[in-house]
Structure 1
Amino acid sequence: MLNNTAILSEVKKVTQIDILSEAKNVFEMEGKALNLVKEALDENFVKIVELISSCKGKVIVTGMGKSGHVSRKIAATMSSLGTSSFFLHPAEALHGDLGMISANDIIIAISYSGESEEITRILPNIKIIGATLIGISGNPNSSLIKYSDYSFVFPLFKEACAMNLAPTSSTTVAMVWGDALAVCLSKSYGFLESNYALFHPAGSLGKKLLIKVNDIMHSGDRNAVVMVGTTLKDAIIEMSTKALGIINIVNEQDELIGVFTDGDLRRTLSREVNVYGLSIDDVMVRTPLYIESELLAVDALKMMKENNISALPIIKEHNLIGTVRVNDILGVGIFV
């Protein structure tokens, strides 16, 4: 019996290969397979896109083993891009999950051999239920293709695995085929960035397209506000208490009259003025920049960066309702 040292020695002998050459060969072989499938795209693919775009039910993607992993990804990508879909594990389908399928649904079944046992065993039931079956395979004579209402058969190519056994090229082409399907469907719906953001509220794009300044502003007692005529001393106390770097000055109708910032305070103090003898009216900026409450936070951030300011008052129907700072926007994960 070989000891651990001897086993490791044997492994090292086996793995002494030209690694870069082998890696590049995988890229080359899978690239060739992709080009073959690209050239094989025909009216069958067009029909599949048209069929799914007019589907009244659900789109269900299924596959076993490596094809199952690919199927999960395809279902997830389609869902992200506007096609409501989910993955169905064929083994679980055999034990009750076939109840998820209805006659209005479309099933996309992926099996390169077309003879995966778990797939072939659910095909008769899919037909009985009345769902439309789309078979994706590399074997035109397979059970999957024979059962399918619509199909796409991959052209012949080699797996990138040195033994031509492990699913490599076949999973890559299936993944890209699914991406092409999802993208074409998305464009046929007129799917926009705003739609994508709706399905990805936690993502960077979702935040940029959904979060408005009034969602993150400082308002009410958290906002720094004084009335016109307030002494500069009292205004400084209010500004330091709220710690926003800015104080808003309003009239009796809550209309914004001016602002006074930390920078304005430093400039005022550098002139050695008597802060006890001045009103905020004497030092405020009377034509301040401001933003409307419905403005997207990302646009407010751009505005502040362009004007080199750290905070902005927020207005709704001519009245001051809050303040937003650069840090507030960056803090929710929005960057430009």
Structure 2
Amino acid sequence: MILSCSLITLSLALAAEAAFGYPSRLYTWIGHPVTWIGRLIKELDRGLNRERWSFGRRRAAGVLALLLLLGITGSVAWMLQGALLPVGPAGLAILAVLAGTLIAQRSLHEHVAAVSQGLRESGLDGGRRAVSMIVGRNPQSLDEAGVARAAIESLAENFSDGIVAPAFWLGLGGLPGAALYKATNTADSMIGHRTPRHEAFGWAAARFDDLVNLPASRLTALLVIVAAALHRGASARNAWRAVRRDARQHRSPNAGWPEAAMAGALGLRLAGPRVYGNVLVEDRWMGDGRAEARAHDIERALALYRTACALLFGLATGSALVAWLIAR
């Protein structure tokens, strides 16, 4: 019964978030769950990450910070779910709306589409401005093809960790599962970097984020492959081949799966050497197609993304129906 409720919540959350997103006025008024989690991470970083401590002690402090973050976030989500589920359909609907705030289908589409629009309307400068909102690399180092590839790579990777992963953990563990995942992923993005301040303290967050993203990254690649089979001009066969050949060659244990699938499906090369700040990061290419991506390729990627999101919704709804029938 608990699993069927989680899957029903997932199905409703995906539909609600795709339809409405997160209203900008609400963000201005109260912020967003991720910003609340971010404030907690900042406080833990400020209070527990002492530069005078040894590397080992700072790593241990990072483990403690992650445990505190997960404990607080999970407890709040568990209490909310426990209060809402007994209310019935109205409580389930509210729970789905809350869970939908942890999924980013609509906002990801808008941000990536803005890059294509920027390139078409304002040329390279417009594309650079738009892509700077979604990637960490230096936009001034990117030509038009680099901007387009960066947007498509961001779409593929964020489809995995911004949509499929929270959806996976929501379906498996309800609101607490999705909230715990989102806390982990936010911690990785804030402190999981190999910088002098965070190499030790952020180690636990980075490694745990790698672990919890493993199933979703593989599922994302599968969704992109199936979506490619439904699109004229995309290749499911090449997507599958790129995943098998390239995904494990990526410097990230997870990002290579959706990026390789997207690259193969669209006949592109993604990833490869990239500049973050002033640092050149060497990475393997995903896919063996052309590197000269354009605004049109971003729009092709978005079409695949929309189909893959529909497939995810169908999978969630079908699983919810099966779980409900079994629980009867």
Give TM-score scaled by structure 1 length.
Answer: 0.21
Give TM-score scaled by structure 2 length.
Answer: 0.21
**Bigger relative CO (Cα 8 Å, ≥ 6 apart):** 2
Answer 1 or 2: which has greater strand percent.
1
